[in-house]
């Protein structure tokens, strides 16, 4: 895969600052949570406390270990949950704008449904 196609393959969503303000979450208002999907897997980045931004949770889930991508639709904002095949500790991000969440889920599901193309076997003579 070339460098330019790898860059175009990356998609990122961030939680809404308005959602954080409505939920009285100062940390997510200052440092919105983000989720990134690329050709390698899905990563989640959440800052734990706004006064200590160096304390954050960075989680990564390779595409081969993803079991399910759940898109929970709300009235105004949506939530995405990426579950591993082991079933423990899903990557969750809340407060996403509807359009960005839908596009992100479609992108990840397309990636999961892609099957590697193998050349056909030649018959032995």
**pLDDT tens for each residue of 23-75:** 999 999 999 999 999 988 899 999 989 888 889 999 999 988 888 899 999 99
Strands (E), the chain: 11-14, 34-37, 41-49, 52-62, 66-72, 77-84, 91-97
User: Nearest Cα to 44, choosing from 29, 56, 26, 30?
Assistant: 56
Radius of gyration of the chain, Cα coordinates, nearest whole angstrom: 17
Confidence of residue 112 (pLDDT cuts 50, 70, 90): confident
Q: What is the pTM of this model?
A: 0.80
Does domain 3-113 fall under CATH 2.30.29.30? My reply is: yes
**Strand pairing class (52-62; 66-72):** unpaired
Average pLDDT over residues 10-30: 93
């Amino acid at each position: 895969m070339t460098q330019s196609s790898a860059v175009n393959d990356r998609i990122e969503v961030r939680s809404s600052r308005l959602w954080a303000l409505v939920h009285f979450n100062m940390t997510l208002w200052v440092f919105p949570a983000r989720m990134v999907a690329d050709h390698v897997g899905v990563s989640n980045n959440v800052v734990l406390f706004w006064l200590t931004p160096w304390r954050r949770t960075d989680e990564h889930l390779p595409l081969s270990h993803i079991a399910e991508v759940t898109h929970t639709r709300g009235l105004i904002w949506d939530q995405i949950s990426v579950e591993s095949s082991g079933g423990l500790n899903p990557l969750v991000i809340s407060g996403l704008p509807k359009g960005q969440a839908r596009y992100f889920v479609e992108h990840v599901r397309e990636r999961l449904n892609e099957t590697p193309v193998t050349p056909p076997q030649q018959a032995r003579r």
